[in-house]
Structure 1
Amino acid sequence: MNNFELGGLILHVGKAVIGGPLSEGMKAIDKLPPLPAGTTPPQTISTSPSVTAAAAAVKAQNAAAKIAADLAARGQTAVESVAQEENMSISASQRYSIMQKLARAESSPVVMIRNAVAPAEVDEALQDEFQEECSNYGKVNKVAVHIDSEEITENERGLVKVFVQFEDGSAAEKAKDKLDGRWFGGRRISATLFDLKKFQTGDYST
């Protein structure tokens, strides 16, 4: 998921460090005296452009003490805080699942083309036509035509979906960009990437 774009933002993902020895800069924490109980952490003012590791550690300790003081002032116990974190982890896992699905869709080698022809115009030559046309963007491994009878577009019942599986995702991305919004036989088609696993299992639902 590193460098994955979501909502216009770039995610930065790395391994979390749990336990183990502190880094050289963070070892300064061990040398700091504990804050007296009941005291309010002083505001840290930077007087130099360069912030030393010890100063950074002081800021971290002051911030932790302030959070603890705020929790105590609201009467919130550590157990309640943990419970809230558990609830947050549930929603976070759901978001991660969504991001995984988005990542799989964006890297899929399958393009779904909609509205290229009317259901009555589907014939055996349609696959060959799309095989030839899409081979301009990369090697095509498979073409499948599916009519979704539940879809109703304008005066037609049924929507034709043409699925083109390329050898790699870059060719699929190129085909999507070139075909989406293009006119084909008097019809404006739409082209989007489609989940590879769903295509391989014959699930053409969207």
Structure 2
Amino acid sequence: MEDASMSPGGQLANLQNGDNAKQVGKIIAGPGAKNELPLILSMNLTDNITEEQRSRISKARKYATEQSTKYVLMKQTLAHQQQQQKHLQRQQALMLMCRVYVGSISFELKEETIKTAFAPYGPIRSVNMSYDPVLNKHKGFAFVEYELPEAAQLALEGMGGAIIGGRNVKVGRPSNMPQAQPLVEEVLAEAALGTRVYLASIHPDIGEDDLKSVFEAFGKIVSVQLARVSPGGRHKGYGHIEYENFQSAQDSIASMNMFDLGGMLLRVGKAIMPPNTSIQSMALTPGGLPTASAVAAAAVTAKLQALEAVSSSPPARVRSITPPPPVSVNIPPPGFAIAPPPIGVVIPKGAMRSDENTNGSSSDKKESKKRELSPAVEEELPQTLHHQENVVIKGSSARHLIMQKLVRQDKTSVVVLRNMVTPEEVDDTLKEEIEEECSQYGTVKHVVIYQERENDSDDAPQNVKIFVEFEAPDGAENAKKGLNGRFFAGRVVKADIYDRDLFEYQDYSA
């Protein structure tokens, strides 16, 4: 007969009577068990293992902590590099936004005249005209660089079609860095939603209090700040006003732009640069956490992640643990950060390629080195605006290659044809006829038919210019030789090579 104390009812009675019950069999954590149960069970995991196994477990834990710390540190380094790259790209975009292209300039005008015409929109850093060394005169266009991007933006909005020296000038943004255009649009979109207003062409006798009394009619003003030569000295003629809300800023721009204040026409627009910053100060912004701080932060993060992983997963008995070889992580020294390449700078392929065919002859090595040197030097040529203005040429071979590239860049593939047709002969089929006629000299890429008046009067006679862009400069040279002086419908055609920069900026008035 079965003992009553061994039956389920007897065991329950013994538990209720307070008798000591011993565990028999294996404990299994079911669906209703607490989450802490696996962690509690893991505490007794090392009770019945040997000293060798205990040493291996200790080494495994140490290795896991080290690898977790390195992994977290690597993630932090990558995140910081991305932040630095975005900061550098934004700085490049702001530098590009400070420049204004000015085309269709009269050949009699000098840089000082252009500077005087564009000065009311803000402080100008430089005016650069492109000169033709053969003709000893400028090519009819220039670049005006402001100290602030908001000044350049106002000049773009206000100087389009303005008459300087008897000609309507054309303005636009430089197009040598199309990859920066999305960032430029992003910066302008952010500025459009801001509450800060930029003012230029301010009378020297007008101060912050005078501006506040005038502009507070549009809403509550947070601050008025004029740029000054020195603290407490005279102001430079421009400044910023910050409103409490967006609508007040919009109303002040709509009402006060080109407003006569003290005998000078104000220029008012949205501010782009953040308060109390400049492009130069953005370039000097320190980057990178100190190495000790980064390692400490990574170690804490790795420890927390390890605790979370242990508490959320059941343990497994370790039989044999052999740590894999450690992974090395390059940590930058204190005060230094791994800077990403700026916009437009191409990393040379030669720097990323390992040496191959080490058993080849010395002549083969020289030939391969020579082949690798040429593209590497060409790709290392500066592509950004800042690097182009601060290029340093080192070595005779590098200087020779750079001069070759500059000569190639000066060659244009555009030819302009004058006196070929009259305005009455321009129709829808003219482009196809010109393209077919010029295709014998080279592959035609684009044809532009441009009509212009001889002067600014409405009844002035019009002339027709035909611009033909070829795939290669040889096509333009062949077209010039073949068409210049040729009779076409009783007229003598005049063919000339046209400046590539003017054509790219759609300036057909030269």
Structure 2-normalised TM-score?
0.20
Q: Which structure has more RCO (C-alpha within 8 Å, separation ≥ 6)? A: 1
Structure 1-normalised TM-score?
0.48
